[in-house]
Amino acid sequence: MWIRGRRALGTLVLAAGLAGLPADSASAGPDAREARQRGRIAAGLHDGSLTRGEAARLRAEQARIERRERRFRRDDGRLGPRERARLDRSLDRSARHIGRARHNAREQ
């Protein structure tokens, strides 16, 4: 199988890296979901479905979620059920934002 260009190679490498992550988001912890979402943002920027501005906004949203998780873990190093639920809702919202931005038919 021949791959033409760096774009195809980058997409192949990204897909291979994401293949090792759990498919079920309920079984994946917040860190795995954050990593998968960062990969989706990078792929969208790479394939042109996200502009740099869209990617920057989505990355800022991911950074806010990561800060919230660190704040939750600060006291006892764990996530309680309510904290996990809040993070899950934030990650769900972020996933919707990524999907909408990648499929809004805009290009760079």
Residues ≥6 apart with Cβ < 8 Å to 52: 45, 108
Measured distance CA(63)–CA(58) in Å, rounded: 9
Tokens representing 84 are 């996990």
Any long-range contacts for 4-10 (C-beta under 8 Å, 24+ apart)? 7/46, 7/47, 10/46
Q: For 81-108, how does the pLDDT look when each residue is reduced to its tens digit (9 = 90+)?
A: 999 999 999 999 999 999 999 998 765 4
Q: What is the distance, to the nearest Å, from the Cα of residue 28 to the centroid of all Cα atoms in its chain?
A: 13
* pTM exceeds cut of 0.75: no
Q: pLDDT per residue over 32-87, tens digit each?
A: 999 999 999 999 999 999 999 999 999 999 999 999 999 999 989 999 999 999 99
Amino acid 106: pLDDT: 61
Higher pLDDT, 41 or 22: 41
Domain parsing of the chain, residue ranges: 28-102
